[in-house]
Chain A
Amino acid sequence: MAIDIAADPRLRAEVGPGRNYNPANADMGAERWLDVSGIRTRYFDEGTGAPVVFVHGAQMGASDGASSANTWALNFPVLRNWHNVIAFDKLGQGYTDNPKTDADYTMHAIVQHAIGFLEKLCKGPYHLVGHSCGGYVVSRIAMERPDLAKTCVCVSSGTLSPGTSRTRIVHKDPPQPPLTRESIRWYCERYSYNLKIVTEDWLDGSLAIARTEKNEIAVAKMNRDGLLRRQFLPLLSKQRTEMFRWLQERGMPCPTLVVWGYDDPAADLADGLQLIELFMKKQRDTEVRIFNKSGHFVMREHPGAFNRLIDTYIDAHC
């Protein structure tokens, strides 16, 4: 028996209009550009209030899609009403330049670029919100540069979790060729609980990036030239082990919220619980929120509830 607030003026008066957390549009605002040590970096920067930085997932040269700041299209336009929201394309992703050398096709370079971006923007300390691979990035930033992190929200980060990635199992036998609309749709659907969240809008954005020349170069380097297996993954594995040690020895320097989808097929909750154990060890202000009926993209599966959670969490830490 859902209560229709709109139909009952007495209840509406009691509850108050409150903040509307449902996305009305996917308008990220104006594209902006910043030179970060020679890397032309695309970002969005809207609203006033506490600076909140959104860091999207995946890495340069991915063959399953093309992630960018637009991943946050259901969250950014809502939260801009009460905060200074910032979302940028990570090194070699979206419309941000590729790394200048092959040696920079690493997670280390991604993190350093992100730190450079935050420094240059000069609005810190920030509330950092990272999804998947971006969850690793924000946690690593907080560890390396506590001065930049006021709070850290780590969403569905299999990248940061102990355990072996399940993405290769979940993504067995993908349609060929890769990086077509149908291929990207197939991957997005396998990541999701509710297939309806895989909208044409989302695919359009991903496809447009996938077809850029710079993205084709990154894909070739990571896959055909083997940088992913030869360099990116081995180094990431080493750095992740280092993160596990840091989390146990000194812990996150700021309040941390871990968010997970109960039905995430790629970043399994069992791995997430191990990560949570590491976060809990040293950082007193660690919290966890698990969303039901949600795959990997929690912020897209439940945008209203996700936006409410982030908004109230940030308000409590301002």
Chain B
Amino acid sequence: MFLQEYSEKWVDVGGIRTRYFEAGIGRPLVLVHGGTKGDSSGGANAEDFDRNFAQLAKKFRVIAVDRLGQGYTDNPRCDEDWTMAASVRHFAGFLDALGYAPYNLVGHSRGAYVVARVTLDHPRLVESCVMIDSSTASPSPGRSQILFSLNPYKPGTVEASRWTYETYSCTTDHVTDGWIAMKQKITETKKNKEAIAKMKDEGLLATRFLPELLEDKEEFFMRLEKDGMRRPMLLFWGYNDPTAPLDCGLELYDLIAKRQPRTSLHIVNQAGHHSFRERAAEFNRVIAEFVEGVVHGH
């Protein structure tokens, strides 16, 4: 296990056995990974934050959770739940189950959509919200499909996984053998194979997940325009993100900043899609600065 100093914890969230890690005392800070269950990004999980977890645990009660159907958290129990909306519901349920509200939420990529959506729909659960490198949550298009189309390796192999993460990165030091192996182990679980069968073979990705996400996103942007976020926001972006380019961050910022006065954008250089891994020191510093600022009222 990557976060091996910290024991895995489990909680039941509406019948879904959910894996998470927790350490430290102080304000609750929840790290939410990206990716989509049963897709080529299906290896994403709580342990993607292994360069951040221990540092942040010195200042906060840090929690990192495997989203619905990802990592070691159970797959959805019915076909209707192979959606982003279900992932959001599960995450909100997880926050309720833990009982530490209000939370400071930090989400990456697809996970940024999840935390933003919970902030929008359940502000009572949230003290502040950080979105990292996300085209899912941005009105500007991402480039992941263009990048994916070039992958020369067989889906599900270590080579394909390594190629993806390296292509998504600016610097590749963080794409370690250990990290890839940890993801591969998840990819090869029985649970993940079932997820692939659902999403790819049965076609739920194309017939349900993506179309519903598109509709949800539309409504999300309209709500951002109309109601706005009701909590302080930080957007954290890698300047060299090839899949969620800086334009995604700038357009999202335009949208959120209109309604939420306390919205900041922090950009780090020489960082691709996993800016929180590639520039972990900067990320950990800025997150602590932001959350402590929120706590102290500025």
Contact = CB atoms under 8 A, between A and B. Distances in A.
The reply to whether chain A is a binding partner of chain B is yes
Interface stretch (A144-152, A211-219, A283-291): A283-291
B269 A14 contact: no
A15 B295 contact: yes
Given A14-B27, A289-B266, A292-B257, A308 B285 contact: no
Contacts of B261: 292-293
Contacts of A18: 292, 296
A40 to B, nearest CB: 38
Contact of A283 (B266, B269, B281): B269
A262 interface: yes
Contact of A308 (B257, B268, B292): B292
Contact of A288 (B257, B265, B288): B265
B26 A262 contact: no
Given A288-B267, A292-B264, A316 B281 contact: yes
A289 B269 contact: no
A304 B27 contact: no
Interface in B1-53: 25-27
Contacts of A313: 285
Interface string B249-288: 0100100010011111111111000000000011001001
Contacts of B281: 316
A313 B295 CA distance: 19
A312 B261 CA distance: 22
B293 A287 contact: no
A15 B257 CA distance: 27
Contact of B266 (A5, A21, A287): A287
Interface residues of B, dominant DSSP: mixed
Contacts of A122: none
A82 to B, nearest CB: 14
Q: Is the interface of A mostly helix, strand, loop or mixed?
A: mixed
A288 B266 contact: yes
B51 to A, nearest CB: 16
A14 B28 CA distance: 10
Contact of B264 (A3, A20, A283, A291): A291
A10 to B, nearest CB: 11
A318 interface: no
B127 A3 contact: yes
Interface of B: 25-27, 102, 123-124, 127, 239, 250, 253, 257, 260-270, 281-282, 285, 288-289, 292-293, 295-298
Interface of A: 1-3, 5, 11, 14-15, 18, 20-22, 262, 273, 276, 279-280, 283-293, 302, 304-305, 308-309, 312-313, 316
State the 8 A-B residue pairs at the shortest beta-carbon distance, nearest first. A304-B298, A288-B267, A286-B269, A290-B265, A292-B263, A292-B257, A312-B289, A14-B26
6 contacts: A14-B25, A15-B296, A287-B268, A288-B265, A290-B267, A305-B264
Given A3-B127, A14-B26, A293-B257, 16 more contacts: A2-B297, A3-B102, A3-B295, A5-B295, A15-B26, A18-B292, A21-B293, A21-B296, A279-B269, A284-B269, A285-B269, A289-B264, A292-B261, A292-B263, A308-B293, A309-B289
